[in-house]
Amino acid sequence: MATVIIGAGIVGVTTAYYMAENNHDAKQDIHLVETTPTLFASASGYAGGFMARDWMAPDSASLAALSFDQHAALAAQHDGERRWGYALSTALSYGLPGGAKEGQRGEDWLRQGTSRSTAAPAVEGGSKKSVPSWLNRTKGDRVEVLADDGTAGQVEPEPFCQYLLDQSLKKGVRLHQPATVVGVQKDDSGKLASITIEENGTQTVLACTRLVITAGAWTPRVYSQLFPEAAARRPLPVHNYAGHSLVVKPSQKRAEVTDRFALFAAGGSMQYCPEIFGRANGTLYLAGLNSSTIPLPATAADSVPSQDQLDDLLKTCKRILGEDDDDKVEVVRTGLCHRPATPWGAPLLLRLLDGKLAETSTDESIVSGDGGVFASAGHGPWGISMGPGTGMVLAELVQGRPLSADIKGLGFH
């Protein structure tokens, strides 16, 4: 029995990890297929890494809580604080004088330019902790506590994904990279039998009774390529929302970044809602300048950030930090990632039934663990936050085990 997972981002890697954890006696072959020559070249490497336990809409709430708890469990088991900067954090809403855009919910932030912090539950009283040492307070601004009770946290996405991938490979998972999916083959009864990939100019047929598509914003493309008739009847409703980001070190005049704060800013003359996260390595991650019109490239490695957008982010960063134009803010890394999102805000996590491959169900009664086609994508800004829970439940779904979260609302709407 073999499983092929297409897409080695956070969802693909965590699925492989949890499948390998339950692959007793190594009876199941598990393959990860990744197109790009560089791993984690999109959202799984360039995201902010903010996590929240209870900021999600009802359909995602169970999965989000499971995932947040799994982040903690993985960090405790594998020294995540040291290896990938895992930490609980204080989340703050920071309002500059001049008002802010009003959003409906946090899941609307990509489409409307609003802040996902609007999804945070109300905090009674708030925290007496100080604001970040790197924040430049101005007259008329406001700071409100969104979370300071162990329900928010941060990780550094790239080392987190890389570590889980390394652990998966040690447990026998095989990585094919860079490799391109060519097609699928069925047996005489019409059941999935194998998948053909092209790697280093050579085509290889991998025996495959279970196929998992976790290609992020590219998931609909993969689905359409492999199952064109089914995709034409009912395409996967996952769209691309791109976002630029910076990782910076403040100038020497600012205090060293040692505190773990997640700051969601709005107001003033800003036309978007910046997010700034203090990381354990002394850097600040800044994002929030997002677009639904930047085209999805052929692969994540083909993304080219806009210098104008990066300059805009740096200007905003200096304003929030109180840096002058002449102050040297060191830009450690720039990024442009493509986030997959659904029109309704919650991700897809489902089995595509054999035969028509256009009907869906998450009813456990249909899952035997013997075969099938599965897909998960569309987490929007919550891919890192919901990654481990998604991978755990997807592994359970694929292997025919009881599910650890309620995913009844994570099919087609």
Token code pair at residue 327: 């102050």
pLDDT of res. 109: 47
Residue range 154-182: mean pLDDT, rounded:
96
What residues pair up with 204 in beta bridges, in sequence order? 197
Domains of the chain: 2-46+158-237+344-399 (3.50.50.60), 88-150+239-341 (3.30.9.10)
Q: What is the pTM of this model?
A: 0.91
pLDDT of res. 270: 80
Q: In what order do the strands lie in the sheet with 50-52?
A: 50-52, 152-154, 87-88
Tell me which residue has tokens 């899952």.
Answer: 367
Distance from C-alpha of 61 to C-alpha of 52, rounded to nearest angstrom: 10
**Least confident range of 13-22, 45-54, 98-107, 393-402:** 98-107
Neighbours of 391 (CB within 10 A): 26
Who contacts 379 (Cβ-Cβ below 8 Å, separation ≥6)? 11, 339, 340, 341, 347, 385, 386, 387, 390
Cis omega (within 30 of 0) for bond into 97: no
pLDDT of res. 129: 57
Is residue 72 predicted with pLDDT exceeding 50? Answer: yes
Residue range 150-162: mean pLDDT, rounded:
96
Residue range 29-44: mean pLDDT, rounded:
96
Token code pair at residue 281: 């390595």
Distance from C-alpha of 69 to C-alpha of 63, rounded to nearest angstrom: 10
Token code pair at residue 261: 């704060």
DSSP state of 208: -
**Least confident range of 93-97, 126-130, 131-135, 345-349:** 126-130
Q: Is 395 helix (H, G, I), strand (E, B) or coil?
A: helix
Q: How far is CA 359 from the centre of its chain?
A: 26
pLDDT of res. 133: 83
402 in Cβ contact with 350 (< 8 Å): no
Is residue 413 predicted with pLDDT exceeding 70? Answer: no
Looking at residue 69, its amino acid is D
Taking only the tens place, the pLDDT of each residue in 304-362 is: 999 999 999 999 999 888 888 767 889 999 999 999 999 998 999 999 865 555 443 33
pLDDT of res. 125: 46
pLDDT of res. 310: 96
**Least confident range of 7-21, 113-127, 187-201, 237-251:** 113-127
> What percent of the chain has pLDDT above 70?
85
pLDDT of res. 367: 45
Helix (H) / strand (E) element for 318: namely helix 307-321
What is the average pLDDT score of the chain?
A: 87
Taking only the tens place, the pLDDT of each residue in 244-266 is: 999 999 886 665 666 789 999 98
Q: How far is CA 284 from the centre of its chain?
A: 19
CA distances from 111 to 103, 164, 242 (A): 10, 32, 11
Who contacts 412 (Cβ-Cβ below 8 Å, separation ≥6)? 234, 237, 348, 350, 360
Q: Which tops the pLDDT comparison, 188 or 164?
A: 164
Residue range 84-112: mean pLDDT, rounded:
68
Token code pair at residue 383: 């891919």
Is residue 155 predicted with pLDDT exceeding 60? Answer: yes
Q: How far apart are the first and last CA of the chain?
A: 32
Distance from C-alpha of 28 to C-alpha of 23, rounded to nearest angstrom: 6
pLDDT of res. 405: 97
Residue 195: is it exposed, middle or buried by C-beta count within 10 angstroms (0-12/13-18/19+)?
Answer: buried
CA angle 347, 352, 356 (to 5 degrees): 140
